[in-house]
A and B are shown apart, each in its own frame.
Chain A
């Protein structure tokens, strides 16, 4: 079971074998590749081959307090303070930032202490960079003009590097604007989150002291456990917001948009089984992994939730896109309304969003990401500006690319 984020390393280093030959093998349990959301499906493949079996489907969404957001008292106060209607489910990062700032510092849960607007897990060396990637995508990934907005060109649907020169794009204006928004978001939550891993960030939301949580699918499940959550039945979920502006690398201008630029993210590991090249019995491994990937077992893992496996196939989602029913989840302990919001947010992001953030799937990913992670932390903790942090990252990335060979990386 490996995180899909490092597929570039697995393949380039010849550590894993393609699994295509098992698809039509009559000995193998059958699993439905077409039912997997396309952004996740792409993670399981590399080049022309499949290398991983279906299992987990990670991505980031925004969890919020439904009771709080739907309270007319707070909605009126927000309108008075910000001059526009309260966004019941924030659709852009600009709206989300306003909402986070609005709730931050107010005692909205009545416990006598100031509460927080948003919580994230930003400890260096952990998973804070995933938050950044999910946020930055809509500022950086510029859809291609014409009929196919997903077409990759030198200037469209690129995020990490210039595909012709391997020069880093990480310090381009889109990234800088995104990091500036993230720095502002940190100011709308507990500063302690700069030293938090997943557990601490989730806990403060689950115990009812933060209005929003920007994280993976796990909170959708954990919030249903009354032993650790005080918000069961009160949880709303919205797909990752978009941006009303995106930076155009070709014209070197910001593009203002009437409808937000929505970009799906597959932030997280999406732990999926691969077969090691050194396996003594790859057929047996393939059988077991195929069994895990079958709709019966995979959906059971998702519906029970506590397995840590998140929804990502049509048989996990509700009609009209999917075939699951709310009852599948209610009988495992979910609140009907909570799980409906949860499933619909993921379904919208993966099946309706026109664009998707491509993973960095080249050799040296760990090295590139580690550098980004360090410099994000420097910026978020106020040691350097957003521009300086990303300039440092770009400098590191050039160094890594030169070490691994620019031509090899292209």
Chain B
């Protein structure tokens, strides 16, 4: 009996060992090593000596960090709201018996499958100020072209449009699935009670899909904090620092300026910001998950 239990235990360990090994190698070790780096000085990609919290002090007193923080926060707020809103609108629209909905659902996943960096480069063509398709259309309609890349405000708008275009289908698909799981009887009862469409949405649809909605917002928030590829390819973070995000700052500090200590310090600050946001989020929506 004892031998059989030991064999069972060994089998269990063998089965979970690859996962543990993977986690240690690709998650825990890099995390601990980057913590080590963030507490050390570096020169030309070489670790020098222990500096305590000096890298954190340098980062927190650098306006580039705070500028990147503001830009990231702007993208998070705008992108999450826009993605969820557009996804919900599309889901409500296609939660009706419409011909060709399956085809649309399939097509809508295409942006999700594309690499963000590729989307960034495609958007360079789309938003090209001297004869790109959007500005050509605006001019044909008798309007002035927009300085999509060269103006700080419009550059932010261009990045947001590209990001929302990629992620709105994700919100659409999750919310459509949630909408389709709402029992028809509830809508039928509402119709009998002569409730308006708006009231039906507020009192029946929204409460019934709230779990999915919260999940979409949470996942999009985490993803939006990490935005890098699109501004990297489309605007290179400019003009000036107008579209430079925190992850972009990690890249330039670590790889371009070869300052590993400050780059990892920014990474840890980003982790703290994201953990704080997630914690606050769960505090607010705790009841949804209990």
Contact = CB atoms under 8 A, between A and B. Distances in A.
Nearest to B240: A378
B177 interface: no
Nearest to B243: A124
Contacts of A392: 63
A125 B238 contact: yes
Interface in A345-381: 363-364, 366-367, 370, 374-375, 377-378, 380-381
Most B-side CB within 10 Å, residue of A364, A370, A381, A404: A381
Nearest to B255: A366
Contact of A194 (B128, B150, B237): B150
Contacts of B63: 392
Interface in B129-169: 129-130, 147-152, 155
B256 A195 contact: no
Contacts of A380: 239
B205 to A, nearest CB: 42
A196 to B, nearest CB: 8
Interface string B54-66: 0000100011100
Interface residues of B, number: 30
B259 interface: yes
B221 to A, nearest CB: 27
Interface in B38-52: 43-44, 46
Contacts, number: 90
Contacts of B179: none
A381 B147 CA distance: 11
Most A-side CB within 10 Å, residue of B130, B148, B258: B130
Interface stretch (A74-82, A130-138, A185-193, A237-245): A185-193
B256 A192 contact: no
A42 interface: no
Contacts of B259: 367, 403
Contacts of A383: 152, 239-240, 242
Interface in A180-217: 190-195, 200, 204
Interface in B19-51: 43-44, 46
B150 A366 contact: no
A363 B152 contact: no
Contacts of A12: 44
> How would you classify the secondary structure of chain A's contact residues: helix, strand, loop or mixed?
helix
Nearest to B145: A192
B258 A366 contact: yes
B174 interface: no
B247 interface: no
Interface string A25-53: 00000000000000000000000000000
B66 to A, nearest CB: 13
> How would you classify the secondary structure of chain B's contact residues: helix, strand, loop or mixed?
loop
Contacts of B256: 366-367, 370
A403 B55 CA distance: 10
A191 B242 contact: no
Contacts of B149: 123, 192, 194-195
Interface string B234-256: 01111111100000000010001
Contacts of A190: 129-130
Contacts of B46: 13
Contacts of A377: 238-240
Contacts of A366: 256-258
Nearest to B127: A195
B240 A195 contact: no
A47 B174 CA distance: 64
Contacts of A126: 236
A403 B237 contact: no
A95 interface: no
A9 interface: yes
Given A378-B240, A381-B239, A383-B242, A195 B58 contact: no
Interface string B77-104: 0000000000000000000000000000
Given A191-B129, A193-B150, A194-B149, A123 B241 contact: no
Contacts of A384: 240
A192 B130 contact: yes
B229 to A, nearest CB: 14
A125 B238 CA distance: 8
B44 A363 contact: yes
A191 B151 CA distance: 9
A380 B152 CA distance: 11
A23 to B, nearest CB: 28
Most B-side CB within 10 Å, residue of A195, A370, A384, A404: A195
The 3 A-B pairs at the shortest CB distance, nearest first, are namely: A195-B149, A124-B238, A378-B240
6 contacts: A124-B235, A125-B238, A192-B149, A194-B150, A381-B240, A383-B152
Given A195-B235, A384-B240, 19 more contacts: A9-B44, A9-B258, A13-B44, A13-B46, A124-B235, A124-B239, A192-B128, A192-B150, A194-B238, A195-B129, A363-B43, A363-B44, A370-B256, A374-B64, A375-B240, A377-B239, A378-B241, A383-B239, A383-B240
